[in-house]
């Protein structure tokens, strides 16, 4: 569950990136399939509503599981905030995961891009190798769902020219994005065919993580994390068409399979 949630929501989430260029109200849904080594392991739906002043993103995921590698379960994420001009500013982030009979929740509130409060249940296990969260790390940040919401004017490399500062309620990290190439989506099995823009992602852990964490170290050292953006109809939003992360067990890939406006 941790690597699936982190990859799909961070990357899009890893993980659910949408962005309006106009203040007109928007209601939309994007659906994805997550695969590991070519095997379907999860489905995700992301609902967006934006009235030009306030936005809300709702993500729901069902994880089918894959033997001893991935546990079956569910995840729900809600992110709310202000839709101001060319940006979305986080006010609230709520996460709930259920797997193996256990429930994990995170609630974070933001004020002016600074964390004003956060609560994690059950509390995160503290140990000698967990990098301490510092007050300065909680300033100028957003949640990891809204962070990928881009209010772009065009499908071009500007969608990739960003540095994201994210606080999940547990970890603080940066994601440096850069333009990779212009591409074309052609597969009839996906939810979109047409031009896309490919971005490379560089994950940079700051605090809250464990230095011994294999997942954190792998993401930090992995140079093959890619995200493709596609337009969401003519709404002015751009959403992930595909997210790709190479792993020792095969490619972990999230692909757009449908949209609803």
Rounded Cα distance between 19 and 148, Å, is: 9
pTM: 0.85
Rounded Cα distance between 250 and 261, Å, is 33
pLDDT of residue 233: 85
The pLDDT tens digits of the residues spanning 123-165 come to: 998 899 999 999 999 999 999 888 887 777 899 999 999 999 9
Position with higher pLDDT, 84 vs 113: 113
Question: What is the pLDDT confidence band of residue 6, given thresholds at 50, 70 and 90?
Answer: low
> In percent, how much of the chain has pLDDT > 90?
63
DSSP letters, 113-158, are: TEEEEEEEESPPPP-TTBPPP-GGGGBS-B-TTGGG----SSSSGG
């Amino acid at each position: 569950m941790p690597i699936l949630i982190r990859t799909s929501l961070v990357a899009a989430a890893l993980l659910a990136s949408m962005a309006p260029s106009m203040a007109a109200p928007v209601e939309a849904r994007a659906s994805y399939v997550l695969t590991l080594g070519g095997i379907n392991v999860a489905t995700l739906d992301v609902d967006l509503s934006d009235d030009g002043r306030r936005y809300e993103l709702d993500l729901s995921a069902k994880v089918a599981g894959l033997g001893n590698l991935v546990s079956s379960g569910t995840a729900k994420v809600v992110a709310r905030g202000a839709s101001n001009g060319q940006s979305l500013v986080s006010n609230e982030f709520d996460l709930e995961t259920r797997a193996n009979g256990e429930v994990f929740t995170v609630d974070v509130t933001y004020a002016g891009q600074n964390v004003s409060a956060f609560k994690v249940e059950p509390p995160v296990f503290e140990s000698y190798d967990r990098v301490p969260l510092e007050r300065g790390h909680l300033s100028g940040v957003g949640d990891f769902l809204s962070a990928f919401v881009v209010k772009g004017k065009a499908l071009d490399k500007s969608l990739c020219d960003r540095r994201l500062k994210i606080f999940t309620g547990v970890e603080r990290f940066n994601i440096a994005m850069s333009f990779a190439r212009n591409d074309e989506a052609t597969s009839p099995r996906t939810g979109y065919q047409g031009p896309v823009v490919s971005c490379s992602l560089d994950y940079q852990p700051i605090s809250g993580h464990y230095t011994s964490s294999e997942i954190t170290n792998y993401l930090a050292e992995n140079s093959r994390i890619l995200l493709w953006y596609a337009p969401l109809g003519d709404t002015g939003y751009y959403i992930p068409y595909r997210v790709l992360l190479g792993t020792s067990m095969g490619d972990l890939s999230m692909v757009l399979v449908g949209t609803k406006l």
